[in-house]
C-alpha cells in the first residue's frame, strides 16, 4: 500500500504519473494527451488497452465508446 510518510522519511523519489496522458487538458488516451504530458515533464504515462470485438488492441479506458466519442456501443 502507498504510504506517503515512508516516501518523506526515506526521501524516496516522487514521480509524476500522467493518468491517461494529460487528460485534464486534452482528450484522454490520445497521442495529443501523451505528447503534452511529456512536454510538461511527466515521468510515466498511464494508459488503458482493450481488445475490440474484432480482436484489435485499442487504447481506451471504458468498455464502450459512449463516454469519450460521439458513437455508441462496445469497443
Q: How many domains does the chain have?
A: 1
In a domain, 73, yes or no: yes
61 carries an active-site annotation: yes
> What is the separation, in whole angstroms, between the first and last Cα of the chain?
32
Cβ-based neighbour number of residue 56 at 10 Å: 9
In a domain, 2, yes or no: no
CA–CA dist 29, 38 (Å, integer)? 13
Q: Which of 14-18, 32-36, 69-73 has the lowest mean pLDDT?
A: 14-18
From the candidates 30, 50, 61, 62, give the one annotated as an active-site residue. Answer: 61
In a domain, 7, yes or no: no
From the candidates 18, 19, 23, 29, give the one annotated as an active-site residue. Answer: 19
- 24 lies in which domain range? 13-75
In a domain, 41, yes or no: yes
Average pLDDT, the chain: 93
> How much is the average pLDDT of 8-32?
91
In a domain, 62, yes or no: yes
Which residues sit opposite 19 in a β-bridge? 46
Residue 35 has pLDDT above 90, yes or no: yes
Q: Give the model confidence (pLDDT) of 50-71 as tens digits.
A: 999 999 999 999 999 999 999 9
In a domain, 17, yes or no: yes
In a domain, 48, yes or no: yes
19 carries an active-site annotation: yes
In a domain, 3, yes or no: no
| pLDDT score of 10 | 81
Amino acid at each position: 500500500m502507498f504510504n506517503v510518510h515512508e516516501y518523506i522519511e526515506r526521501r524516496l523519489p516522487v514521480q509524476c504519473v500522467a493518468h491517461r496522458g494529460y487528460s485534464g487538458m486534452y482528450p484522454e488516451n490520445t497521442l495529443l494527451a501523451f505528447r503534452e504530458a511529456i512536454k510538461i515533464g511527466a515521468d510515466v504515462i498511464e494508459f488503458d488497452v482493450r481488445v475490440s470485438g474484432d480482436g484489435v488492441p485499442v487504447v481506451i479506458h471504458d468498455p464502450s465508446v459512449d463516454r469519450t466519442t460521439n458513437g455508441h456501443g462496445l469497443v
